[in-house]
Amino acid sequence: MKQVHRIGIIGGSGLYELEGFTSQRWVKVTTPFGSPSDSLLTGELTGREVVFLPRHGRGHRILPGELNHRANIWAMKRLCVAWIVSVSAVGSLQAQYKPCDIVLPNQFVDRTKKASEHTFFGKGIVGHVSLADPFCKDLAAKLANAATQEGAKVHARGTYLCMEGPQFSTRAESHLYRGWGAAVIGMTNIQEAKLAREAEICFATLALATDYDCWNEAVGNVEIEQVLKVLQQNVELAQRTIRRVVTALSDARSCGCESSLKDAIITERTRIPKNVRANLKPIIGKYL
């Protein structure tokens, strides 16, 4: 029987549900890494099987630093997700990325501090995936095309600076990151991208610019009320873009993401602990 490849949507701040999502069923997934942010909503969108996860839980209950990214991505893999579109609110670090613009990042700078929680490896198994190009170029290109067709101002490249939060940047940090050439700043995406690459899932970010962080003193400091107001304007655009990209995805993948673990596991197979083999079966099973 042919395996159905589903499309995963991780909804960030402001995107807690999908319009036009039919045959809905909330599925509770138990993982070796603890509980995901919430149950996962399965169903159909424009005739394709989709899995939706509210990143911060329904009701927005989970801080960025509290997110269990391993459980979230493991659950997506367990439900046969082959693509993940990560919808995220971001602050702009450069004048050309204006609030309400859409950014499709192509690079990351990692300023987080929980590296051991952002990998499926460890505890008896060692693997090193390539993260030179952390986003799936094919999926990102389709997202850029879909957003453009929906009338968005789209930036198809840019570096996403990932910080931990939950506080926003100091002004000194904001200017530092601008000097590094980063385009946008957020708190959640590099963790997802790293784990998606290890899980051989195509991953791309639909970044919704909401503010200018705090470097642009002419428009004032970033305030959550302002962020939420701009997010409300962006949510409908994000919904339309998602529907269009879901329709555009073919069943087959030709990007190489589905074989990113091919030469990455360097531990001698006979020395991988049985419990680790069992826990990571959805991730590494085909290589054992």
The set of catalytic residues is: 211, 213
Q: Is 50:42 a contact under the CB 8 Å cutoff?
A: yes
Please state the φ and ψ torsions of residue 11, each to the nearest 5 degrees.
-90, 125
CA nearest to 169, candidates 230, 128, 206, 211? 211
Chain centroid to CA 224:
21
- Residue 93 has, within 13 A of its CA and on its CB side, a CA count of 27
In DSSP terms, which residues pair with 34 in a beta bridge?
31
Backbone angles phi, psi at 272, to 5 degrees: -75, 125
Q: Which long-range contacts (CB under 8 A, 24 or more apart) does 26-34 make?
A: 27/79, 29/75, 29/78, 29/79, 31/70, 31/71, 31/74, 31/75, 31/78, 32/74, 32/278, 32/279, 32/280, 33/68, 33/70, 33/71, 33/74, 34/68, 34/70, 34/71
Contact 57/15 with Cβ under 8 angstroms? no
Q: Which of 36, 29, 80, 31 is nearest to 58 (CA)?
A: 36
The pair of structure tokens assigned to 8 is: 């995963």
Q: Please answer whether residues 204 and 154 qualify as being in contact, where contact means their C-beta atoms are separated by less than 8 angstroms.
A: no
**Closest to 279 in 3D by CA, of 127, 67, 120:** 120
